[in-house]
Amino acid sequence: MNDEKTVRLAKPVKKGILHLLFSRFFIIILLLAAVFHWLKPYIAPLALLQSLFVLAMVIYLFNSTMSSSSKLTWMFIIAILPQAGAMLLLFVQTNLGHRAVKRRVEEIIDETRGALEQPGEVLEALRGDSDGTDDLARYLNRSGCFPIYSGCETRYFASGEEKFAAMLEELEKAEHYIFLEYFIIEEGYMWGRVLETLIRKAAQGVDVRVMYDGMCELSKLPFGYTKLLREKGIKAKTFAPIRPIVSSHYNYRDHRKILVVDGNTAITGGVNLADEYINRTAPFGHWKDAAVLVRGPAVKSFTLLFLQMWNIDEPGVQFSPWLRDGEAVPEHPSGFVMPFGDCPLDGDRVGESVYIDMLYRATDYVHIMTPYLILDSELSTALRYAAERGVDVKLILPGIPDKKVAYALAKSHYAALTASGVKIYEYTPGFVHAKVCVSDAEKAVVGTINYDYRSLYHHFECAAYLYRTDCIGDIERDFQDTLVRCRAVTPETIAAETAFYRITGWLMKFIAPLM
């Protein structure tokens, strides 16, 4: 009987005029009409309030400290969608969702501003330096705790494979602690080998800590992976784990790559802990990357950078036990090393400022490898100005892109840069992921900082500034070795570019600062 009722209720019902009058659709139409009728006397005042709100946000925009490129992007968005664009700008600028994180980061930076003492003899040795390294050191110490050190040994790795081999070797030496902070960790051969060592070291009583960016749990690792690591004796956490809430906090990612072992050794660079970085897999052809190893007192700066991020969500903060010099003495110290970090929440564009300083002070050459080229007006001007005054400015970019939109945006800069004399090359075997800048056979930066908006404005980053260190010759040799496997960008290749890249670059350039 019940089945028969069910069958009957499922049959079509004739829809007459009464059914239409009492349908949900008709009721919703009536309600909307009633609301419109009720609001009709207020439409003009509401429109005025909307216009005043948009005007207020435009005035705020012009008086903000954001870059001119970002201001132009927001003006474009507001011009097309006035109310929605103004609301989006308000949402982003009020920092909804990451005020607590911003406040905590500021507290930690303030607490640790004097955690590492700047060796006075080093600044004295650099006083009046014609290359301006002492000026740069003063600037970096204004934005954080980034002393410049002598007595350090450095070693450059021209590939992920070289870095991986050295990493395994250094991990085996650990007796007290291992700190790893990486943007990407993905299960596979590379991470499996590292993890095997970490588990063994943790069982021996070594303090092993692993921190990775929360975006990994969207595509690289399963949710709750930190719990699996903790079950193996490894202290583990994610930075900004993805949760089902709307927050501008997710725009800021931990893009750093740091390994610290016992305060003796630190490694940074572009190489994440996944198989494509050591060419075990090849989704975009041959993967060209780079990293640098540091021994000596400068390792303390990388330790501090790691602990600052680790302690963001910790109730109690401890730094000093890990900030002593390591026990190992560098065998072949040379030059000066200044590790530094970049935080997107403090308003200082540290990474960009270091790159611009190198470009403006260069007298002979500036050679750059970067996976992405999405420039604001300041960095574009610095590149062009250096080339126009006779400096040999060369850029190596990927020949096979990992992200076609980013590749199109890079190509949108080619014409203006090459017109000023900047020489651009694309790595034909595959993808360049190295973040390297070397200048005048005396200066270099190796780290995690790309030449794009995300790295320069939205990511936590780190790098090592190297001055007159022995490895600078190795960095320049690697650049020249990579150059012979590149194709040159010329006016002819720019003119022959495909319609997809040309149109995509033009269109996406409007919103590039928000990518």
Average per-residue pLDDT for the chain = 87
Residue type, 385: Y
Cα–Cα distance, 401 to 430 (Å, whole number):
8
Q: Is the pLDDT of residue 459 over 80?
A: yes
Q: Is the pLDDT of residue 510 over 80?
A: no
Q: Is the pLDDT of residue 418 over 90?
A: yes
Range 199-220 average pLDDT: 92
Q: Give the pLDDT band (50/70/90) at residue 97.
A: low
Cα–Cα distance, 23 to 21 (Å, whole number):
6
Q: Give the pLDDT band (50/70/90) at residue 77.
A: confident
Q: 99, 444, 421, 448: which is closest to 267 by C-alpha?
A: 448
Q: Which residue has the higher pLDDT, 69 or 107?
A: 107
In this predicted structure, what is the pLDDT of residue 111? Answer: 84
Q: 15, 111, 83: which is closest to 320 by C-alpha?
A: 111
Q: Give the pLDDT band (50/70/90) at residue 344.
A: confident
Of the listed ranges 14-23, 50-59, 446-455, the one predicted with least confidence:
14-23
Residue where the block lists tokens 């990775």? 212
The dihedral sign for the CA sequence 405, 406, 408, 412: positive
The residue count of the chain comes to 515
Q: Which residue has the higher pLDDT, 269 or 376?
A: 269
Range 445-471 average pLDDT: 95
Q: Where are the domains of the chain?
A: 21-93, 99-340
In this predicted structure, what is the pLDDT of residue 10? Answer: 37
Residue type, 18: L
In this predicted structure, what is the pLDDT of residue 289? Answer: 98
Q: Give the pLDDT band (50/70/90) at residue 108.
A: confident
In this predicted structure, what is the pLDDT of residue 20? Answer: 47
Q: Report the share of the chain in percent with pLDDT over 90.
A: 61
In this predicted structure, what is the pLDDT of residue 15? Answer: 47
Q: Give the pLDDT band (50/70/90) at residue 431.
A: very high
The dihedral sign for the CA sequence 14, 16, 20, 22: negative
Specify whether the CB–CB gap between 391 and 358 falls below 8 A.
no
Of the listed ranges 23-27, 249-253, 436-440, the one predicted with least confidence:
23-27
The fold for domain 99-340 equals Endonuclease; Chain A (3.30.870)
Range 203-212 average pLDDT: 97
In this predicted structure, what is the pLDDT of residue 293? Answer: 98
Of the listed ranges 137-141, 226-230, 247-251, 267-271, the one predicted with least confidence:
247-251
- 429: DSSP letter: T
219: number of CA atoms within 13 Å, CB side?
A: 5
Q: Give the pLDDT band (50/70/90) at residue 251.
A: low
Q: Is the pLDDT of residue 12 over 60?
A: no
The dihedral sign for the CA sequence 105, 111, 112, 117: positive
Range 342-361 average pLDDT: 91
Give 133's strand partners.
Answer: none
